[in-house]
Structure 1
């Protein structure tokens, strides 16, 4: 059985060191999301581990947009290589120009 988008997101978040994961959660809370979406409340992210954050990303943004948000936040915290890896592993090759923006 192949890995799901959720599995890949968890793997990606688990690759971050403790400090980078903290930066990721801080940026995620303030990320300018699309119209019709809201930010994940800070209190829900404070003590969340990678699995919890992944669940919240999918719950708040659904899989496709959760991948996009994750990639953009990773890029914002200077984790471009991890962002590209996440983007390609989740199969979102035809998304917007995110990959071009990262290079």
Structure 2
């Protein structure tokens, strides 16, 4: 697994312009939110507990970020949880309103 410094160095090689940075600052969270709205509709029974796909992906992602850096992992845990909490009511909608959003 690449270190955080290696990951950021590779990112920095291709993302130097202000326009690119601003596009990523807005676009990446919107893409993650859309993916969570989709995955949260998937229900996964685990014994007496039911988790959704969004919760699973957020958990796996946070573990990954914690392995890179504890501070980055904590920040991503907060941000991904906020996106997940916003995605859950949308995922609970009937198909047509959910798909419209």
Same fold flag (TM > 0.5): no
More strand by share: 2
Relative contact order, higher structure (CA 8 A, sep 6+) = 1
TM-score (normalizing by structure 1): 0.29
TM-score (normalizing by structure 2): 0.30
